[in-house]
Amino acid sequence: MNTIKITIDGIETEVAKGTTVLEAARDLDINIPSLCYMKGINHSSSCRVCVVEVGPRLIASCTLKAEEGMKIQTNTKKVRDARKATVELLLSDHDRECLSCSRSGGCELQTVSNDLNVRTVSFAGEKSHGGKDLSSPSIMRDSAKCIKCGRCIGACSTMQTVHAIGFNHRGFDTTVGPAFGRALGDSTCVNCGQCIMACPVGALTEVENMNDVWNALSDPSKYVVVQPAPAIRVALGEEFGMPVGTRVTGKMVAALRKLGFDKVFDTNFGADLTIMEEGTELLSRLNSGESLPLMTSCCPGWVKFVEHNFPDRLDNLSTCKSPHEMEGAMIKTYFAKKMGLDPKNIVVVSIMPCTAKKFEGQREELSNESMQDVDLVLTTRELAAMIKEAGIDFVNLKGEAFDNPMGEGSGAGAIFGATGGVAEAALRTVFEITAGKELETVEYTAVRGLDGIKENVIELPNGKKIRTAVVHGLGNARKLMEAMERGEKAYEFIEVMACPGGCVAGGGQPIIDAQTSEKINIKAERAKAIYTEDEAQTVRKSHKNPSIQQLYAEFLGEPNGHLSHELLHTHYVKRSKF
C-alpha cells in the first residue's frame, strides 16, 4: 500500500507514505507553528517549535514521518507549554528591538510569539556575542538577531551550492557565517540574497542605500535619474497589500516621480539594448565557432559564481554589461549629451529585485572615465519603504508613463524578469534578423516554465542550430556546468539566473513567509504577470523598439561596434574558490 491512515486531533486522514506529520496537518488546515522548517530547503527539526504529542512523547513534526495508525495531538496543554518555553528561550538570546527592525510586522519569530501568546520571557542570563558584519556591499548580517535555525545555510548550500556560510563553533558559542571567522565580503558569497529570503527574522538584510538616495534627491546640484527593472512592477504591489503578481507599472512610475526623481526611465530599454548587443555577439560566435557556448551575463550572482567556481569558462560569458548597467552608461553619455548635462552631476539609481546588483554597481569593470555606470541600487523592499516614508498613497495612485528617450521598452525587454526571458527575447531578435522577415509567432514557450534546467533546439533560417539551455538556481547551474565539463552536454547558448524562478524571485523582492510560500506559487504568479506585461506591449521585439533604433542612428552606430564595445561591454576576473 502506498497510503496509510493516521489521526490528527481526532480527524482521521489518509496520506502517502513518507509524508511528515507537519505536512499532513497543514493539508487539514491544522496550523502547527514552525521556524526552522522550510520546504525543500531546511528540514533540521532544530527549533522544536513544531512539536506534537504522540503517546507520551513530544516530537518535532517537521521530520516525523507518519506511520499507520499513528494518533497525533497538536493542541494539548503539554504541547502549548513546550512551544511557549521554546520560543521564550529563543527570545532570551534575541535582540528584541522589534520596532526598529526592518522585519517588524513580517518576522516569523514575532508572529509565532504573538500566536502562542508569549508575553514574558522567563529566562535571563548571558546573551551570545557577535555584532554586525558590514563587509559586503549587498548583504548585512546581524548575529544578535540570529536564531540559528539554519534556513540561510540550507538556501546557500543545499539550494545554491555556494557554501559561503555555515555553522561555526558549538553549543552556546554557535554562530552562522563564513568559515574561519571570515567576513561575508571576503567569502565566496555571490550576493544573490536567497539567504535573506530564507531568514525568518531580521538577522540577514540587504545593505540599505535609502539615505544615500534621499541625500541625492535633496541635493540641488544633482540630476537624479531612476530606472526600475522588469520584475519590480509585478512585485512592488505586494508591499502595499495587493495580491501576488499584481502589475503596478503606472503606479510605480507615479510614485517614483512623486519621490522627486528628475527622470523616470525603464530598464526594459536597457534590456532591449542588451539583446541588440548580445544577439549580435551570439551570431558572431556562431559564425566563427569560437567561445561557444555563449553564456548570458545579465545576472551578477551568476557571473561571480563563474568567477569563483569555473574561471576557465570566463571566455564563454557574454561580454555584454547587464541591462541596468548599459542603461546607466547611456544615461551618462548619450542622454547627458542630448540634455547638455555634466555626467559628473548625474546620479543613476537602479531599482532592482536583486541584492547582487548592489555588488555589481560597485565593480570597477563597470565604469567609464572614473564614473560608475550606476551610482546607487535599491531593492524592491527599499523602494516600498521610501514610498511609505514619503506618505504616498500607493494603492490609489493614478498610473503615469515613463519618460523618454529611455522609457520605451519592448515586450521582449519585459520578460527578462522571468527565467527563460533573456533566451526568448534573444531568440526573437536573432531569428528575425537571420530570416530577414517578420516572425508570425513571437513566443518561444519551450524556454518558459519553472523546470530547473530546460533544453531546446532552435533551427535558424540559415540552417544553423542553436542548442539552448535555460537554467535558474545556482544548484542547477552547477549541475549543468559539471555535465559540460564531463562532455555530457553541449550547447551554443545558455541563459542562467542565479535565483530560482529568475529575477521575479530575486533576493531583493518582497519576503514571503515559509508557510505562505507553501500555499501560493509566488514565482509562477509573478512570472505570469511578466508575460502579461509582454503581451500588452505594442512592440514585442527588441530590435523593433524605435527608441533603440534612434540610439544606434544618433549615437552608437551599430551593435558590437567600436563605441558599443567601449561603453556597453566589459570583462570578468578570476576569483578564489575559498
Q: Is 189 one of the catalytic residues?
A: no
d(CA 72, CA 66) in angstroms, rounded, equals: 9
Sheet containing 139-142: give its strands across: 132-133, 139-142, 204-206
* Cβ(358)–Cβ(206) below 8 Å: yes
In a 13 Å sphere around the CA of 510, the CA atoms on its Cβ side amount to 26
- Residue from 503, 523, 542, 544 carrying the catalytic annotation: 503
* Cβ(463)–Cβ(431) below 8 Å: no
* Cβ(32)–Cβ(42) below 8 Å: no
- Residue from 148, 304, 357, 358 carrying the catalytic annotation: 357
User: Which class for 85: exposed (0-12), middle (13-18), buried (19 or more C-beta within 10 A)?
Assistant: middle
Amino acid at 158: T
- Residue from 298, 299, 354, 499 carrying the catalytic annotation: 298
Number of residues written out for the chain: 578
- Residue from 108, 206, 238, 278 carrying the catalytic annotation: 278
Q: Is 67 one of the catalytic residues?
A: no
With residue 529 as reference, give the H or E element that holds it.
Answer: helix 522-535
Amino acid at 232: I
Q: Is 298 one of the catalytic residues?
A: yes
Q: Is 408 one of the catalytic residues?
A: no
With residue 167 as reference, give the H or E element that holds it.
Answer: strand 166-168
- Residue from 136, 138, 297, 318 carrying the catalytic annotation: 318
Q: Is 281 one of the catalytic residues?
A: yes
Cα–Cα–Cα angle for 243, 154, 42, rounded to 5 degrees: 70
- Residue from 360, 432, 495, 533 carrying the catalytic annotation: 360
* Cβ(252)–Cβ(376) below 8 Å: no
Q: Is 503 one of the catalytic residues?
A: yes
Q: Could you give the C-alpha distances from 342 to 227, 337, 338, 451, in angstroms and in order?
A: 19, 8, 11, 47
Q: Is 541 one of the catalytic residues?
A: no
Amino acid at 82: A
Q: Is 77 one of the catalytic residues?
A: no
d(CA 142, CA 205) in angstroms, rounded, equals: 8
- Residue from 108, 281, 325, 495 carrying the catalytic annotation: 281
- How many Cβ atoms sit within 10 Å of the Cβ of residue 167? 13
Q: Could you give the C-alpha distances from 369 to 304, 366, 376, in angstroms and in order?
A: 24, 10, 17
Question: Computed from CA positions of residues 64, 202, 226, 558, in that sequence, does the dihedral angle turn out positive or negative?
Answer: negative
* Cβ(22)–Cβ(15) below 8 Å: no
- Residue from 67, 68, 97, 365 carrying the catalytic annotation: 365
Residue with cell 510560500: 517
Distance of CA 508 to the CA centre of its chain: 6
- Which residues are designated catalytic? 278, 281, 298, 318, 357, 360, 365, 503
